[in-house]
Homo-oligomer: A and B are copies of this chain.
Amino acid sequence: MLATLDPATKTDVLAAMATELEARVDRILSANAADMDDARAQGVSGALLDRLALNPERVAAFANGLRTVAALPDPVGSLTGGWVLVNGIRLQRMRVPLGVVAIIYEARPNVTADAAGLCFKSGNAAVLRGSSYTLRSNNAIADALRAALGRHGLPEDAVQLMQDTSREAATALMQAKEWIDLLVPRGGPGLIAAVEEQATVPFVIDGAGNCHVYVDASADLAMAVDIAFNAKTHRPGVCNAAEKLVVHSDVADEFLPLIARRLWDSGVELRGDAAARAILPDLVAATDEDWPTEYLDLKMAIKVVASFDEAVGHIRKFSSGHTEAIVTANLGAAERFVRETDSAVVMVNASTRFTDGEEFGFGAEIGISTQKLHVRGPMGLEALTTEKYVLYGEGQIRS
Residues of A within 8 A of B (CB): 1, 3-4, 83, 85-86, 89, 91, 96, 98-99, 181-182, 202, 204, 220, 223, 226-227, 229-231, 234, 334, 338-340, 342-351, 353-355, 359-361, 371-374, 376-378, 386-398
Nearest neighbor of A203 in chain B, beta-carbon distance: B373
Q: When the two chains form the complex, which single residue of B231, B373, B396 contacts A374, counting CB atoms closer than 8 Å?
A: B373
Bound CA–CA A142/B202 (angstroms): 33
Of chain B, the residue at the smallest CB distance from A235 is B398
- Chain B residue nearest to A222 in the complex (CB): B395
Most buried by B among A86, A99, A231, A388: A388
Q: Assess whether B345 is in contact with A396, with CB atoms less than 8 Å apart.
A: no
- Chain B residue numbers with a CB within 8 Å of A86 are 361
- Chain B residues, CB < 8 A from A394: 349-350
Name the one of B202, B348, B372 contacting A386, with C-beta atoms under 8 angstroms.
B372
Partner of A351, one of B344, B347, B392, B396: B396
Taking a contact as CB atoms under 8 Å apart, the answer to whether B398 and A345 are in contact is: no
Which B residues are in CB contact (< 8 Å) with A390? 338, 345-346, 348
What residues on B are CB-neighbors of A343 within 8 Å? Answer: 388
**Are B340 and A4 touching (Cβ within 8 A)?**
yes
How many copies of this protein are present in the complex?
Answer: 2
Q: How far is the CB of A360 from chain B (nearest CB, A)?
A: 7
Nearest CB on B from A258, distance (A)? 15
Q: Are B351 and A398 in contact (CB under 8 A)?
A: yes
Selected contact of A345 from candidates B1, B372, B391, CB within 8 Å: B391
Residues of B within 8 A of A4 (CB): 339-340
A230-B397, A354-B391, A391-B345 known; A85 and B202 CB under 8 Å? no
In the complex the two chains form, what is the Cα distance from A182 to B393 in whole Å? 34
Alpha-carbon distance between A85 and B334 when the two chains are bound, in angstroms: 19
B350 touches A395 (CB 8 A): yes
Residues of B within 8 A of A387 (CB): 376-377
Query: With the chains together, A377 CA to B91 CA distance in Å?
Result: 12
Name the contact of A395 in the complex, choosing from B96, B220, B395 (C-beta under 8 A): B220
B85 A388 Cβ-Cβ under 8 A:
no
Q: What are 28 A-B contacts with C-beta separation under 8 Å?
A: A3-B339, A85-B361, A86-B361, A91-B360, A99-B372, A181-B372, A182-B373, A204-B373, A223-B395, A226-B395, A229-B397, A230-B397, A346-B391, A347-B391, A349-B392, A349-B393, A350-B391, A350-B392, A350-B393, A350-B395, A350-B396, A351-B396, A353-B397, A354-B391, A354-B398, A359-B398, A376-B389, A377-B388
- Known interface pairs A397-B353, A398-B354; A391-B340 also in contact (CB < 8 Å): no
A226 pairs with B391, CB closer than 8 A: no
Q: Which residue of B lies closest to A394 (CB)?
A: B349
Closest 6 CB pairs of A and B: A350-B393, A230-B397, A372-B386, A223-B395, A353-B398, A373-B374
